[in-house]
Structure 1
Amino acid sequence: MKFINDKIKILVFTILHTGIMQTSAQPAIHNKAETAKAQSGNVVPINLKWSERMLLSEMHRFPESWMLDFSKSPKWTYPSAIVLDGAEQLYAKTGKKEYYDYISSFGDKLVSEDGTILTYELEKYNIDLLNSGNVLLYLYEKEKKEKYLKALQTLRLQITGQPRTNEGSFWHKKIYPYQVWLDGLYMGMPFYAHYTKDFSKGNDAAKAYDDIIFQFDSVQKNLLDKKTGLLYHAWDESKKEAWADKESGLSPNFWGRAMGWYGMAMVDVLDYLPQNHPGRARLISYIKSFSDAIIKVQDKNSGLWYQVLDKPLENGNYEEATASAMFVYTMIKAVNKGYLPQSYKVYAKKGYHGIIKNLITVDENGVVNLNKCCAVAGLGGKPYRDGSYEYYVNEKIRSNDAKGTGPFILASIEFEKKDHQ
């Protein structure tokens, strides 16, 4: 009996002693963590400007640049290029090598030594896949690697072969015949203009610039709603798609991000279009009518824009981050470049502060999040996307989508240029 009692005593002592040790150890571990945090500082320093804070947050979330926008494996896709556009400008501004390395790693990973682009298929004629060519134009200019030149020539071949409507607008993809989407103007035209500026001469360059301006002229003619000044998401020249109006061929709604892509396309193409090109003044006039239209649907209180632009009070609609960031970027860049009068800065500023106040959250470690981003929206395909109001407001919403963080970085850079925050 004594032996059993002794065993019980030892067991009780062990349990109690272990419990005390564990309890008393917890604060020590906690203090160590606090000390380490205090010594190292935040992951993202809060004393930086918003442009760098968001870029560093993206680099923290996605340590490899191919991971941007939640890519699970290296894939040639368009959202990364928007964030990397911001990284290029911040590298030029700060000289911080980690920004350049982040851009460079995208080209290293996605382009093989023989110039083959990982996962890219030319024969699909998907205009979305031209956008990341902007990263390669930058890297070729900096590094002069032959593999980048070969890859760029492949992407330029896509433009030559891209199917077109009867009047000459690019189809969005080969699998979407006769369809022109606003998204496509951003995906293809800045790359087309930038490539032309860097590599084309004489008559070839003149033809290319005329073709680029024609793409915008055609959109203004076929996708503009004259009553509101807003532009529909897409137009089917054949009028065969279920989402297309049988008389006009237009999709049924004004999707925020579609117009956001279009606005960014215009201000970015002007960076490469020659000053004396006759289409330049036309494009600037389109930016003004575009801005006038989006100002009318800007929320008067928050300064933000809705997922479906003209139906703010309908059930399920919400203030959407990617479109809001794109509109702010378009307007503030247009003001800075002199395309819009200074008076438009008020609306851009209201939108920018609205994003920071309502859509940005900052974690304890300083990492910045952009919330309420529509993950993706399109038309047609499988399962079929019908372009209805219900379709747009029920698409997935997530935080830190590159289609929002990228434009936010770019908009922030524009505000920081003249410190009009």
Structure 2
Amino acid sequence: MTVSLTDYFDAYARDYAYYKSGSWCYEDGCLYRGLIALHEATGERHWFEHLTRLVNGQVDAAGSIAGYTITEYNIDNVLPGRALVYLAQKTGETRYRTAVDHLVRQFQTHPRIGAGPHWHKLRYPHQVWLDGLYMALPFKLEYAGLSGQADLAHQALSEMLTALDLTFDAASGLYRHGYDEERLQAWADPVTGLSPAHWARSIGWLAMAMVDMVETLPAGAGRDDLAGRLAALLSVLAKLRTVDGRWLQVIDQPELAGNYAESSATAMFAYAFLKAARLGIRDAAGRIGAEAVISLTRHALAPDANGRTVLQQICCVAGLGGFDGHYRDGTPGYYLSETLRDDDIKGVAPLMMAHAESEIARRAANQRDDAVA
């Protein structure tokens, strides 16, 4: 369908209800990332106004964060902190700096696996999940810039490179969703500790983490290492697209019965390709990201029963291990069993981010054309 993405995003943010009734959570943090990307790309004030309105509903004037407890040791809860860093830099308001300083204290005692990276959550001990790398590590880098703590930036890079080593599957060139250092989980391979399948969105979280970190890291061997690994991943992803330019839920099994083009992963990869191209990452084809955005607009944006435009084919949630009375075994069949949810923020926010990168690319192209003319 033909729809203005700007109008769709504006209406989505205007009507957004906090994902967990106002408690601090990564889902709201995803929206904040989308709004920041749109504000940075366009300079339009209304994206910033949506952001401050929503964050101020969770962070009071004294800097207290609604529903946040350090000792839950939930790595997901760190992601919205990137909005606090952004607002602290843009406004100078003490509430944001107070809140982000409190949030970063979680890292001081958050458990780690022996190799260094943090546990995904206290209730998922000895485990590293790809989504957790996106939740924590770009935030560490951005906070390091805000606070001048260079050691925190070095730590973030080291943890990312270690996690990449632990989760890499050489046979496919992809990364596995989870790693269990103790090999205690039924989903964990007894030799490698890895989960058994390649879930597209987990790799999407990873790709976004990698490209955001490459953008923030200073020039040097560490940045070059991460950029090279990102280039290699994008090269593999380019070969796994569907005919219409999207990516499958179980990304590397196109013949799997019931497999489908999943919108959140597609939006994440679109963002990664577009941003990597802007940053000059080797062999990063911005065209692939642009085509993915177009494909989502054509094939996954549609009116719901009430006539409102929604983004379809979004996997609501997927994980590993016990949850809500059942065991998530990480097999391809498991990933296909999870519920789809229209307009879930985990799909809409990455599409915001990809659209923002498209706008940056479009404006750059117009400037080049004007210079030639």
Residue 195 of structure 2 is aligned to residue 254 of structure 1: no
Secondary structure of residue in 1 paired with 2:253: coil
Alpha-carbon offset, residue 367 of structure 1: 5.0
Unaligned residue ranges in structure 2 (runs of 5+): 367-373
Residue of structure 2 equivalent to 1:307: 249
Task: Report the Cα distance in structure 1 between the residues aligned to 2:306 and 2:41, rounded to whole angstroms.
Answer: 25
Task: Report the Cα distance in structure 1 between the residues aligned to 2:269 and 2:43, rounded to whole angstroms.
Answer: 28
Alpha-carbon offset, residue 214 of structure 1: 1.3
Task: Report the Cα distance in structure 1 between the residues aligned to 2:71 and 2:115, rounded to whole angstroms.
Answer: 22
Decide whether the 8 Å contact of 1:328 with 1:411 is kept in 2: yes
Structure 1 letter corresponding to 2:127: Q
Structure 2 letter corresponding to 1:323: A
Structure 1 residues 223, 281: closer, same or farther in 2, change over 3 A?
same
Residue of structure 1 equivalent to 2:344: 401
Relative to structure 2, which stretch is displaced further, 347-356 or 235-244?
347-356
Task: Report the Cα distance in structure 1 between the residues aligned to 2:7 and 2:138, rounded to whole angstroms.
Answer: 26
1:19-418 matches, within 5 Å, as: 50=5, 52-62=6-16, 67-68=17-18, 71=19, 73-200=21-148, 204-205=149-150, 207-275=151-219, 277-299=220-242, 301-341=243-283, 344-362=285-303, 368-382=309-323, 383=325, 384-418=327-361
Identity among equivalent positions (%) equals 33
Poorly superposed stretches of 4+, deviation over 6 Å? 363-366
Decide whether the 8 Å contact of 2:228 with 2:282 is kept in 1: no
Structure 1 residues 94, 225: closer, same or farther in 2, change over 3 A?
closer
Structure 1 residues 273, 113: closer, same or farther in 2, change over 3 A?
same
Task: Report the Cα distance in structure 2 between the residues aligned to 1:96 and 1:417, rounded to whole angstroms.
Answer: 13
Unaligned residue ranges in structure 1 (runs of 5+): 1-44
Structure 1 residues 96, 387: closer, same or farther in 2, change over 3 A?
same
Decide whether the 8 Å contact of 1:360 with 1:370 is kept in 2: yes
Alpha-carbon offset, residue 72 of structure 1: 5.4
Task: Report the Cα distance in structure 1 between the residues aligned to 2:314 and 2:47, rounded to whole angstroms.
Answer: 24
Which structure's CA Rg is the greater one? 1
Structure 2 letter corresponding to 1:401: D
Task: Report the Cα distance in structure 1 between the residues aligned to 2:246 and 2:56, rounded to whole angstroms.
Answer: 38
CA deviations on 1:307-362 (whole Å, 9 max, x unpaired) are 111112212211100001001110111001111336x2332233222212211225
Structure 2 letter corresponding to 1:101: E
Structure 1 residues 89, 319: closer, same or farther in 2, change over 3 A?
closer
Decide whether the 8 Å contact of 1:320 with 1:373 is kept in 2: yes
Task: Report the Cα distance in structure 1 between the residues aligned to 2:118 and 2:36, rounded to whole angstroms.
Answer: 28
Task: Report the Cα distance in structure 1 between the residues aligned to 2:38 and 2:289, rounded to whole angstroms.
Answer: 21
Structure 2 letter corresponding to 1:331: F
TM, length-normalised to structure 1 = 0.81
CA deviations on 1:179-230 (whole Å, 9 max, x unpaired) are 0000011000111000001112xxx41x222211112211221111111101
Q: CA RMSD in A?
A: 2.2
Decide whether the 8 Å contact of 1:53 with 1:367 is kept in 2: no
Decide whether the 8 Å contact of 2:79 with 2:136 is kept in 1: yes
Count of aligned residue pairs for this structure pair: 361
Alpha-carbon offset, residue 92 of structure 1: 4.4
TM, length-normalised to structure 2 = 0.91
Structure 2 letter corresponding to 1:54: Y
Structure 1 residues 364, 337: closer, same or farther in 2, change over 3 A?
farther
Relative to structure 2, which stretch is displaced further, 245-254 or 97-106?
97-106
Residue of structure 1 equivalent to 2:370: none
